[in-house]
């Protein structure tokens, strides 16, 4: 098993997307990249700890590659906005890849270069590429958020449309049991 740590705005949205991928065994929401030890969600929300909301993904590279995870990451959030995803604003919502090794760093830099070359986005990609730092698991109520709260308005009006778009674009990568 390999690990990838990605921040693409609200971890509730990114967790829901990556949980559906075939080859992903676990997605954990948490915080990374800041100065405060063992931060809480309320401290992160202030935007002054330096942490980003991230997901840590455990995946089987025989089934899904790090590069494929990156493609999903870049296609399911806006990497061209600084410290913002939609209505979520602050450094905690920045676009960031925390790489585990030089291979992940190179793959991330290559993916960004290829996306720029293909003019996929109208604006420059602002995704931060940083070495892995201390990961702090978010509080229990943040874990598996979408699956546990599908009736809540945020899930219905923000996460579900994102999942629908994702499913249309990446149907071949979704866990087979979710397509039945």
Is 45 tagged catalytic? no
Structure tokens of 34?
Answer: 């800041």
The C-alpha atoms of residue 93 and residue 47 are separated, in whole angstroms, by 9
Annotated catalytic residue: which of 10, 13, 45, 155?
A: 10
Q: Which residues of 108-138 are buried (b: 16+ CB within 10 A; e: fewer)?
A: beebbeebeeeeeeeeebbbbebebbeebeb
Catalytic residues: 10
């Amino acid at each position: 098993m390999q690990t990838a740590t990605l921040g693409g705005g609200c971890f509730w949205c990114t967790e829901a997307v990556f949980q559906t991928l075939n080859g992903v065994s676990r997605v954990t929401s948490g915080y990374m990249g800041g100065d405060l030890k063992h931060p809480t969600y309320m401290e992160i929300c202030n935007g002054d700890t330096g942490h980003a909301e991230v997901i840590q993904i455990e995946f089987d590279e025989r089934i899904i590659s790090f590069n494929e995870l990156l493609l999903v990451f870049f296609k399911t959030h806006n990497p061209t906005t600084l410290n913002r995803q939609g209505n979520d604003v602050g450094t905690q919502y920045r676009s960031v890849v925390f790489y585990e090794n030089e291979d992940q760093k190179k793959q991330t830099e290559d993916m960004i270069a290829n996306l720029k070359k293909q003019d996929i986005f109208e604006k420059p990609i602002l995704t931060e590429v940083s070495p892995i730092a201390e990961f702090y698991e978010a509080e229990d109520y943040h874990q598996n958020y979408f699956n546990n709260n599908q009736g809540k308005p945020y899930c219905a009006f923000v996460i579900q449309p994102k999942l629908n778009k994702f499913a249309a674009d990446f149907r071949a990568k979704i866990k087979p049991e979710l397509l039945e």
